[in-house]
């Protein structure tokens, strides 16, 4: 039920003795460009390992994931409502369809771990524990927002929860994540940085420079590529000439792995395995999670680059629906219980949004605040006496 194959083999090319069950959880494409793993390539061992890890996911954990995924979906849907009311400005890039990734990844992180995010960053913020009201306030440019209304949707940060900031420049956060990982190593912690970016960013030069540097310095960073199939209007099939972004890991001498990013159990398990290694100081990993952007690039996108049929068919793989099916079929959860959870989350999101709507706007004088830190660090200079 679990497939690991070398490089870019497609599912149909796999040996016949491997059974592939489609359209359910924990099944899908796993492609490894990890040459270390390929050396010990053994289907039996891999399958055993997977099955053992799978038993670790309890019903409570999965329900907790379901709750958070619904929270993100409800947040994004409400953000669109705010956009329709002209309460937000410029683009809102929603995370719809990718929720399993942020939730499954952030569930593993501990205090002192950091993430960097992208223009499509609301899901990462929420999964890392950001305050919904402050997020909404920021989307609406209010003074009580995370960035006091100076950032907006694309620039939410909360260092107190380990969220180093969303970034409006595609690929801009990758070198920063590398720098943060250097700081964690320099301070001799066992903490890590998870660097979220998309398939589009993987074609930026910053991706190459940062992965290479992180590799040679053996930095504790997981480069997490959310391959959602579309870089604005450009399909992944046209923007890269390889089957999997993770194959690029070989160029940096690091581990690369592709997993089904719409399968929360697989996301959680495979990320957990990578994290364990990275915490031990083995250096960075390039972990690709295949997913699908169910919404347009931003709210208001005419989506003339893809067919409605394609989106409808990919909706079958929606990570929330798949988790629902798993919980109902394998864990005996009643559909009504799940509906209740989704309603609770939606209500919580709406409450946060309504509160944020009442928040004050910044004053024009605030324009000048926050540009520079006014203080200088208190360092007593010690002359260096050369021996």
Partner 1 sequence: MRKISMREAINEALHIALNSSPEVFTAGEDIAVYGGQLRCSYGLLENFGAERVFDTPISESAIVGLGVGSAMLNLRPIMELSYIDFLGTCFDQILNQAAKLRYMYGGMVNLPLVIRTQCGAGLGNGAQHSQSLEAILGHIPGIRVLIPSNAYDAKGLLLRAVRDNNPVVFIEHKALYKTKCHVPEEPYECDYTCDIKRTGKDITIVTYSAMVNQALKAAEVLEKEGVEAEVIDIRSIAPFEEETIINSVRKTGHAVVAHEACRKAGFGGEIAATIQEKAFTALKKPVLRVAAPDVPVPFAPILEDAFLPNSEKILAAVKTCLQ
Q: Applying CB under 8 A, which residues contact partner 1?
A: 114, 116, 145-151, 155, 157-159, 164-165, 167-169, 172, 174-184, 186-187, 193, 205-206, 209-210, 212-213, 216, 369-373, 375-384, 386
Q: How far is the CB of 228 from partner 1 (least distance, A)?
A: 22
Nearer to partner 1, 176 or 294 (CB): 176
Nearer to partner 1, 88 or 258 (CB): 88
H or E, element range at 258 = strand 255-260
Q: How far is the CB of 187 from partner 1 (least distance, A)?
A: 8
The DSSP output letter for 307 is: -
H or E, element range at 64 = helix 59-84
Nearer to partner 1, 96 or 202 (CB): 202
Nearer to partner 1, 5 or 147 (CB): 147
Nearer to partner 1, 73 or 248 (CB): 248
Nearer to partner 1, 114 or 230 (CB): 114
CB half-sphere exposure, 143, CA atoms < 13 A: 11
Q: What are phi and psi of 261, to 5 degrees?
A: -75, -5
Looking up tokens 């200088």, which residue turns up? Answer: 376
Nearer to partner 1, 204 or 235 (CB): 204
Q: Give every CB contact of residue 371 below 8 A, 6+ residues apart in sequence.
A: none
**Distance of alpha carbon 217 from alpha carbon 212, whole angstroms:** 9
Q: How far is the CB of 227 from partner 1 (least distance, A)?
A: 22
**Distance of alpha carbon 175 from alpha carbon 184, whole angstroms:** 14
Nearer to partner 1, 302 or 368 (CB): 368
Q: How far is the CB of 221 from partner 1 (least distance, A)?
A: 9
Q: How far is the CB of 208 from partner 1 (least distance, A)?
A: 8
**Distance of alpha carbon 66 from alpha carbon 337, whole angstroms:** 11
Q: How far is the CB of 327 from partner 1 (least distance, A)?
A: 37
Alpha-helical regions (H) of 200-334: 205-216, 236-239, 249-252, 264-279, 308-315, 319-331
Whether 279 and 192 have beta carbons less than 8 Å apart is answered as yes
Nearer to partner 1, 136 or 146 (CB): 146
Q: What is the biggest distance separating any 2 CA atoms in the chain, rounded to whole angstroms?
A: 76
Q: How far is the CB of 336 from partner 1 (least distance, A)?
A: 42
Q: How far is the CB of 309 from partner 1 (least distance, A)?
A: 38
Q: How far is the CB of 110 from partner 1 (least distance, A)?
A: 16
**Distance of alpha carbon 231 from alpha carbon 358, whole angstroms:** 35
The string over 31-59, giving b where at least 16 C-beta atoms fall within 10 Å of a residue's C-beta and e elsewhere, is bbbbbebeeeeeeeebeeebeebbeebee
Whether 198 and 228 have beta carbons less than 8 Å apart is answered as yes
Whether 8 and 246 have beta carbons less than 8 Å apart is answered as no
Reading the block at residue 116, the tokens are 């960097």
């Amino acid at each position: 039920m679990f497939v690991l194959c070398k490089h870019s083999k497609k599912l149909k090319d796999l040996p016949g003795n491997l059974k592939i069950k489609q359209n359910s959880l924990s099944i899908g494409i796993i492609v490894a460009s990890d040459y270390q793993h390929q050396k010990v390539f053994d289907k039996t061992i891999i399958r055993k390992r997977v099955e053992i890890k799978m038993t670790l996911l309890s019903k409570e954990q999965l329900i907790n994931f379901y709750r958070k995924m619904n929270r993100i979906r409800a947040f994004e849907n409400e953000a669109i409502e705010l956009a329709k009311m002209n309460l937000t400005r410029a683009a809102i890039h929603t995370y719809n369809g990718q929720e399993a990734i942020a939730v499954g990844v952030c569930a593993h992180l501990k205090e002192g771990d950091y993430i960097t995010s992208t223009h499509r960053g609301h899901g990462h913020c929420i999964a890392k524990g950001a305050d919904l009201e402050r997020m909404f306030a920021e989307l609406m440019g209010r003074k009580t927002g995370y960035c006091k209304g100076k950032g907006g949707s694309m620039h939410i940060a909360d260092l107190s929860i380990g969220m180093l900031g969303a970034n409006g420049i595609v690929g801009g956060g990758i070198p920063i994540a590398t720098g943060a990982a250097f700081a964690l190593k320099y301070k001799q912690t066992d903490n890590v940085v998870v660097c979220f970016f998309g398939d589009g960013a993987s074609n930026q030069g910053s991706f190459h420079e940062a992965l290479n540097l992180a590799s040679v310095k053996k930095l504790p960073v997981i480069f997490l590529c959310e391959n959602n199939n579309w870089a604005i209007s450009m399909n992944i099939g046209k923007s890269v000439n390889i089957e999997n972004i993770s194959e690029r890991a070989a160029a940096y001498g690091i581990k690369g792995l592709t997993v089904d990013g719409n399968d929360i159990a697989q996301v959680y398990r495979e990320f957990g395995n990578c994290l364990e290694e990275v915490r031990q100081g083995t250096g960075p990993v390039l972990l690709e999670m295949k997913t699908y952007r169910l919404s347009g690039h931003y709210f208001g996108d005419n989506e003339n680059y893809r067919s409605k049929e394609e989106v409808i068919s990919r909706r079958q793989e929606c990570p929330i629906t798949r988790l629902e099916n798993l919980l109902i079929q394998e864990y005996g959860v009643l559909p009504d219980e799940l509906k209740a959870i989704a309603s609770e989350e939606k209500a919580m999101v709406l409450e946060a949004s309504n509160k944020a709507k009442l928040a004050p706007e910044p004053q024009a004088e605030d324009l000048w605040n926050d540009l520079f830190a006014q203080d200088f660090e208190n360092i007593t200079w010690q002359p260096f006496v050369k021996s």
